[in-house]
């Protein structure tokens, strides 16, 4: 195994760019129409003076990290900027040479505590260091001229079970990382938001965008060939049932098999509420095929109560996973003890947390001689370019076969990015993107329901050979 190098961090800079959605995206308690995207760039320096630059990007999504209805979207954005400021100050103020994982582990507990003192929950507090860690990973891969998956297999990042996951003390992490088999193609699990039109006939002629992209579930299936879906529900069992009947009517038209996940987005107060919906779904003949296709239910219970009650009875019928409740490294074992079987991987929560949770799933499965514990790939509207490619590189390196992808459906291509940036990513990743012949915009390329990841997995760096057009970005105002 290659020894993980230690280095210092320098020249950390933050930027942002507005992102406007082409379609409104309803999830949980918010209908999203616009949000800024954060960008981060930094330099790592080895003791011998060699250095390299790394980058990362992530949308600043309101009402997901903190769903307090008293907070405006602007206040949610300010929370995420504060999380970034805390992380930049902590990492930049540390002059010690550490491994990539060492930098993350050294500041984790203090950043969670600092967040709590300044009104940031642990999920918000994770946002800033998650972005920094990704840029560090990118820089180290560039320094060693190696793709992310290869670096992960060699544990070039220096990932350890101590001090963050002591429950893995008996697990051979290095051997597991070396045995990971990355995928070079992955199925795109299409998100059906709560206000998404289901059929083309649902679209009024004067409301159509006519931008060459699908505007309904029916249209997305026709254009992309989707066979994997993520279905949002809203906490009102009667309304959810009606919505699911409409979705099933569209999905069941195809003779081809399909698979789906059900996403509660914390909209149910307790396990009894989601259990009642599931029982009603199973009793509805119109949902028979849909129910048979559902692999798991994602975070149906509000995070304030999700880890305070067992879900074992419902989990015996359908696996449940945690998503928003995944605010720290200790969550997955706590959730497992309550009956949950899975946990989401999201780069916005942390690359190392996803990797170590994957190790936990493998360890628990080997102990119990089962395959019942798992990590899933979920999207937080990852945008074209760095954000989507780093997330794809992570889940593909972990061996996942499908991932929720929705950024390309709700935002047109690279959004407000310059032609220079669009062209750079298209040239570097012609298997992942294509140019629309009519609009000339560069967009994600989904064929037969899947994404070709060859250039992503072979890229020197963290999933991307291209960079944002830094001149097209505004410096982030961290004091706002």
- Count, residues in the chain: 480
User: If you search the block for the tokens 């026709």, which residue do you land on?
Assistant: 222
Edge to edge, the sheet with strand 8-27 lists: 51-59, 30-45, 8-27, 474-475
23-76 pLDDT, tens digit per residue, is: 999 887 788 999 999 999 999 999 999 999 999 999 999 999 999 999 999 999
Please state, in angstroms and rounded to a whole number, the distance separating the CA atoms of residues 267 and 139.
Answer: 39
- Tell me the DSSP string of 440-469: --EEE--BTTEEE-HHHHHSSBSS-S----
Residue range 104-122: average pLDDT?
98
Report the pLDDT value the prediction gives residue 82, as an integer from 0 to 100. Answer: 98
Q: Among residues 298, 292, 293, 198, which one has the least CA distance to residue 242?
A: 198
Residue 288 has pLDDT above 80, yes or no: yes
Please state, in angstroms and rounded to a whole number, the distance separating the CA atoms of residues 433 and 425.
Answer: 8
Please state, in angstroms and rounded to a whole number, the distance separating the CA atoms of residues 172 and 304.
Answer: 34
Report the pLDDT value the prediction gives residue 1, as an integer from 0 to 100. Answer: 54
The helix/strand count (H/E) of the chain reads as 17, 15
What domains does the chain contain, in order, with CATH numbers?
Answer: 8-145 (3.30.390.10), 179-475 (3.20.20.120)
Please state, in angstroms and rounded to a whole number, the distance separating the CA atoms of residues 186 and 476.
Answer: 34
Are 225 and 447 within 8 A, CB to CB? yes
Report the pLDDT value the prediction gives residue 254, as an integer from 0 to 100. Answer: 94
Alpha-carbon separation of residue 62 from 25, 30, 67, 69, 386 (angstroms) = 12, 8, 8, 11, 20
Report the pLDDT value the prediction gives residue 207, as an integer from 0 to 100. Answer: 86
Report the pLDDT value the prediction gives residue 28, as an integer from 0 to 100. Answer: 74
**And the tokens for 256?**
């081809």
Residue 480 has pLDDT above 60, yes or no: no
Buried b or exposed e, range 112-130, using 16+ CB within 10 angstroms:
bebbeeeebbbbbbbbbbb
Instruction: List, in order, residues 6 or more apart from 417 with CB less than 8 Å away.
Output: 17, 384, 385, 468, 469, 472
302-340 pLDDT, tens digit per residue, is: 999 999 999 999 999 999 999 999 999 999 999 999 999
From the number of C-beta atoms within 10 Å of its C-beta (0-12, 13-18, 19+), residue 325 rates as buried
Residue 428 has pLDDT above 60, yes or no: yes
- Per the prediction, the chain carries an average pLDDT of 96
Report the pLDDT value the prediction gives residue 29, as an integer from 0 to 100. Answer: 76
pTM: 0.97
């Amino acid at each position: 195994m290659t020894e993980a190098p230690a280095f210092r961090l320098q020249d950390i800079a933050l930027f942002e760019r507005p992102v406007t959605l082409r379609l409104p995206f309803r999830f949980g308690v918010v209908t999203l129409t616009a949000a800024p995207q954060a960008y981060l760039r930094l330099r790592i320096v080895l003791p011998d003076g060699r250095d390299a630059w790394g980058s990362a990007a992530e949308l600043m999504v309101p009402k997901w990290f903190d769903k307090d209805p008293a907070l405006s979207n602007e206040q949610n954005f300010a929370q995420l900027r504060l999380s970034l400021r805390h992380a930049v100050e902590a990492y930049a103020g540390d002059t010690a040479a550490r491994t990539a994982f060492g930098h993350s582990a050294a500041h984790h507990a203090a950043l969670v505590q600092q967040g709590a003192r300044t009104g940031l929950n642990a999920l918000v507090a994770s946002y800033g260091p998650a972005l920094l860690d990704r840029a560090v990973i990118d820089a180290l891969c560039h320094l060693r001229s190696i793709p992310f998956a290869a670096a992960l297999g060699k544990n070039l990042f220096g990932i350890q079970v101590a001090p963050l996951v002591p429950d893995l003390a008996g697990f051979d992490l290095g051997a597991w990382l070396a045995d990971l088999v990355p995928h070079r193609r992955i199925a795109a699990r299409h998100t059906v938001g709560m206000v998404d039109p289901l059929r083309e006939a649902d679209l009024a002629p004067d409301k159509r965008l006519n931008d060459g992209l699908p505007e309904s579930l029916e249209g997305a299936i026709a254009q992309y060939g989707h066979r994997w879906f993520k279905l949002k529900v809203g906490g009102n069992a009667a309304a959810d049932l009606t919505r699911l009947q409409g979705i099933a009517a569209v999905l069941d038209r195809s003779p081809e098999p399909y698979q789906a996940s059900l996403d509660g987005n914390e909209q149910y107060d307790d396990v009894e509420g989601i259990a009642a919906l599931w029982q009603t779904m199973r009793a509805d003949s119109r949902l028979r095929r849909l129910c048979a296709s559902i692999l798991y239910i994602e975070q149906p219970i509000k995070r304030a109560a999700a880890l305070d009650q067992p879900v074992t009875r419902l989990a015996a019928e359908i696996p449940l996973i945690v998503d928003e409740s995944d605010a720290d490294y200790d969550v997955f074992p706590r959730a497992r003890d309550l009956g949950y079987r899975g946990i989401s991987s999201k780069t916005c929560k942390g690359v190392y947390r996803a990797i170590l949770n994957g190790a936990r799933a493998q360890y628990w499965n080997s102990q119990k001689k089962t395959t019942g514990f798992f990590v899933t790939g979920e999207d937080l509207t990852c945008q074209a370019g760095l954000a989507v490619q780093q997330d794809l590189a992570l889940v593909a390196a972990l061996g996942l076969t499908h991932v929720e992808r929705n950024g390309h459906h709700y935002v047109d291509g690279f959004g407000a990015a310059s032609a220079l940036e669009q062209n750079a990513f298209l040239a570097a990743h012609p298997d992942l993107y294509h140019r629309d012949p009519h609009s000339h915009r560069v967009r994600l390329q989904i064929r037969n329901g899947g994404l070709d990841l060859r250039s992503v997995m072979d890229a020197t760096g963290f999933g991307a050979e291209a960079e944002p057009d830094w001149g097209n970005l505004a410096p982030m105002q961290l004091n706002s």
